[in-house]
Amino acid sequence: MMWENQTMVTEFVLLGLCETWEAQLFIFILFLVLYVATLFSNILISSAIFRDHHLSDSPMFFLLGQLAFLDLCLSSFAIPKSLFDYIAQHQAISFDGCMAQIFFIHFFGGIEMLLLIVMAYDRYVAISHPLRYASLMNRRHCMALLLASWAGGLLHATVQLAFIINVPFCGPNQVDSFYCDLPLVIKLACTDTYPLEVMMVTNSGILSLVCFIGLLLSYGFILYTVCSRGPSEGTTKAASTCTSHLIVVTMYFGPIMFIYLRPYTRFMIDKVLSVFYTSITPLLNPAIYALKNKEMKAALGIIYAHKVG
């Protein structure tokens, strides 16, 4: 074919989010603040959970600790490199590095998507079948569900990578973002991109849409069950927890569906959503849970008291 006689791309150039020096400096400071805050908040949440045996033995908080770890991973696959690139004034990334970014964003993203489903199931069992909760969500079952989430994320990322890694790239090599992702890299391929875009819509877009609708229906059913029992302290706490979960689910799936369900067009808001997905959501997740949960606030208070004392 024609591309066989052309030079293959060995690196990509990440154009970032803006062009002017002043705007780049602002983005650098913003990313640095968001990343440090994300590291601090998620490590704090994880420490509070695993230092308190009462929390770590609870399936809900055990899963929350796993979510905090995934948020750390999701914010670390691209942001540190973007910060170093600004300091070095070098925006290039090798072909292998680009493929690695694609793999890890879908690996950690796929795990988190499945973990949110597990967390919804946990709340469903706790509210709808409270007498069976201890047996259905014991540590062995929690670990099995967690391992299934990791296996699902690995399968999802492997499928995405398998479709793109052998695609020919012979130029141009400029990626219009601060990290490599499928919708942007696919458009640079020296071949018909329609089958790749259909694969992406199917494997990422429709999958995330189905999961999102299923989660909305699940939490809707849970909230209906809670509200039908009449007002009490227990129902108020359950409704508050489910509301927190719904906020996290919406923040997580919203950008994903917007980006992956319509790969044929590109809007400026896609860059904003990429920042939201990789920087802001991992920061907001622990804040939402900590502010909405009395046990978590108490555990954080104990850590603060130890540090001050």
Average pLDDT for 212-232: 80
d(CA 166, CA 2): 16
Buried/exposed code over 23-54 (b: 16+ C-beta within 10 A; e: otherwise): eeeebbeebeebbebbbebbebbbebbeebee
Cα distances (Å, whole numbers) of residue 109 to 116, 149, 155, 157, 252: 11, 11, 12, 9, 9
Q: Judge contact between 15 and 184, C-beta under 8 A.
A: no
Domains assigned to the chain: 11-292 (1.20.1070.10)
Tell the residue number behind the tokens 């994880």, with chain if given: 46
pLDDT tens digits, one per residue of 43-73: 988 888 888 888 888 898 899 899 999 999 9
- Residues 182-209 have a mean pLDDT of 83
pTM: 0.88
Distances (CA, A) of 274 to 28, 263, 279, 295: 15, 14, 8, 32
pLDDT at 238 over 90: no
| Distance between CA atoms of residues 111 and 109, nearest Å | 5
Kindly state the average pLDDT of the residues 169-180: 86
pLDDT at position 264, please? 60
Strand partners, 12: 93
